Each structure stands twice: as C-alpha cells, then as structure tokens.
Amino acid sequence: MRGASYARQQYTRDAVLSASPARLLTMLYDRLLLDLRRAELAQGSADWQAASDNLLHAQDIIGELTATLRPGVWDGADGLRAIYEYVRVALVNANIHRDPERTREAITLLEPLQQSWHAAAGVVAEQESAGIEASQGYAVG
C-alpha cells in the first residue's frame, strides 16, 4: 500500500510542477472547495478534528491565493482580496465556534469564483493552443 501512496504523491507533485499558472489556480480552487466540503461534512457529524484540519488547510489556500494577487496588474485584485479576507475570517470563526453555517457561507461565496476561474483557464488554454497551431503553420479557425 505504501508504494501506491508514494506513486500518487509523485503523480500529484509532477502535475503541480508541470501545470500552467491558470491550471495551478484552478487546482488551488478545487482543493479549497474539497477541503470546505469535507469540513462541512465533518462538522455535521461532530468530527471536530477532521473539520479543523480541513478548515486550517482551506485557510492556508486562502492565504496563498491572497499572496498571489497583484493589484498593480489587475484592478479587480482589491475586491478579490476583500472576499478572501472575509472568507478567511469566516473559516477561523467556523473552526473556533464549530459553526457549519460559516463553512457553508464560504462555499457559497467561493463556488462561483471556482467556476469562473475554470472558465477563464479554459479560454486561456484554447488561446494558447490556437497560438501554438498558428505558429506551427496550421490553419486556425
């Protein structure tokens, strides 16, 4: 069983190292929402340790997302930073007060962002693919 675990870790590591910035962002959002859903389920069954572990990991991801914002490059960065800060505080309170409603609120706020980033990453991938085809002399569109 240990070999399978190592292989899975290696596969994940390789996927992260070879991912484009857009793909890394969607991977972070996917894991963030997974953590929050797991935390909500754990809170519902009073498994406070599992809930806390997942909420803490989600807070780490929110911290990473916040750190990568570049207000000088994108004028929407400050608004997104405010959402991240609101969610971070909600997750801290969800953990301290064992409040699944705060966890659910975070999920509700972040799901549309997850979907939007996935859509944007898809557009970027299509544009990159079209650019590669065009640079190789293939007919595009």
User: Which domains does the chain carry?
Assistant: 20-135 (1.20.120.340)
Distance CA(50)–CA(58), nearest Å, equals: 12
Please check the confidence at residue 139 and state whether its pLDDT lies above 50.
no
7-16, 19-28, 71-80, 111-120: lowest mean pLDDT where? 7-16
Question: Could you give the CA distance from residue 28 to residue 118 in angstroms, rounded to a whole number?
Answer: 11
User: For 13-42, what is the mean pLDDT?
Assistant: 89
- Name 56's Cβ contacts closer than 8 Å, sequence gap at least 6: 95
Instruction: Compute the distance between CA of residue 111 and CA of residue 36 in angstroms, rounded to an integer.
Output: 11
Per-residue pLDDT band for 140 (boundaries 50, 70, 90) equals very low
Which two tokens mark 20? 């484009």
CA atoms within 13 A on the CB side of 124: 13
Query: What is this structure's pTM?
Result: 0.82
